Chain A
Amino acid sequence: DAGITQSPRHKVTETGTPVTLRCHQTENHRYMYWYRQDPGHGLRLIHYSYGVKDTDKGEVSDGYSVSRSKTEDFLLTLESATSSQTSVYFCAISPLLAGGQETQYFGPGTRLLVL
């Protein structure tokens, strides 16, 4: 999984509780992403980061926040979890060299169940 770890790998939580997922990379890549994967929707971008403390919203960012205080770590927080946020969450990284398109490499995923 290209030097990417996600924690926890599985989590069950209750509606209304805050949840934080962690993505850690050892590749020193600049770009990091959070996706969710749901049946019939494929992978949808939640937030991404293009550097330490530099983040931006993706397609489905409502209800989620992110932080990146170090190159290697990218945190995804569900402020107040809802059942609609039950999903599999993937972190991805990309070197994105200047002037060139690079693809993304994915972590193993976190399965989140919100009851």
Chain B
Amino acid sequence: QKEVEQDPGPLSVPEGAIVSLNCTYSNSAFQYFMWYRQYSRKGPELLMYTYSSGNKEDGRFTAQVDKSSKYISLFIRDSQPSDSATYLCAMSDQTGANNLFFGTGTRLTVIP
């Protein structure tokens, strides 16, 4: 079983829709949770970073962590065609930068 599971999609939504992207994990020691966005043929770029449980909002993006269920989510409101990308979740269990575990990514297409 992988440490981090992520539905690869692809996911297609109409412009303006609310998008929900999710990851599950098995290691209860994970405390740091990240979402990266990766455009085609580009490197991943950090989108959201949260510590422990709870919600974090940044513009149209909300990251949610439910440690009791070992489940994290990224919500995108009022989705735009420019949001079309692959979204990677990542998480870590300690203050050690070599311990970052990635999901395989979900490919999202927002249709105008």
Residues of chain B with a CB closer than 8 A to A105's CB: 45-46
- Category for how many chain A residues contact B: 20 to 34
Contact B32 A1 (CB under 8 A): no
Complex: A50 Cα to B95 Cα, angstroms = 13
Complex: A66 Cα to B103 Cα, angstroms = 25
Residues of chain A with a CB closer than 8 A to B105's CB: 42
Least CB distance, A26 to chain B, in whole angstroms? 15
Chain A residue nearest in CB terms to B51: A101
Complex: A105 Cα to B43 Cα, angstroms = 9
**Is the C-beta of A58 less than 8 angstroms from some C-beta in chain B?**
yes
Complex: A56 Cα to B31 Cα, angstroms = 23
* Residues 56-112 (chain B) with a chain A CB within 8 angstroms: 88, 90, 92, 94-95, 97-98, 100, 102-105
Given contacts A43-B88, A48-B98, contact A1 B104 (CB under 8 A): no
Least CB distance, B38 to chain A, in whole angstroms? 8
- Total A-B pairs in contact (CB under 8 Å)? 65
Residues of chain A with a CB closer than 8 A to B45's CB: 1, 105-106
Contact A109 B95 (CB under 8 A): no
Which of B6, B43, B97 is within 8 Å of A94, CB to CB?
Answer: B97
**Is the C-beta of A90 less than 8 angstroms from some C-beta in chain B?**
yes
**Is the C-beta of A52 less than 8 angstroms from some C-beta in chain B?**
no
Which of A4, A40, A96 is within 8 Å of B97, CB to CB?
Answer: A96
Contact A1 B43 (CB under 8 A): yes
* Residues 53-85 (chain A) with a chain B CB within 8 angstroms: 56, 58
Residues of chain A with a CB closer than 8 A to B90's CB: 43, 103
Residues of chain B with a CB closer than 8 A to A99's CB: 95
Least CB distance, B10 to chain A, in whole angstroms? 13
Contact A109 B43 (CB under 8 A): yes
Chain B residue nearest in CB terms to A39: B104
Complex: A107 Cα to B44 Cα, angstroms = 8
Contacts A43-B44, A106-B43, A108-B43 known; 10 new A-B pairs at CB < 8 A: A40-B8, A42-B104, A42-B105, A43-B90, A90-B43, A101-B32, A102-B97, A104-B100, A106-B44, A106-B45
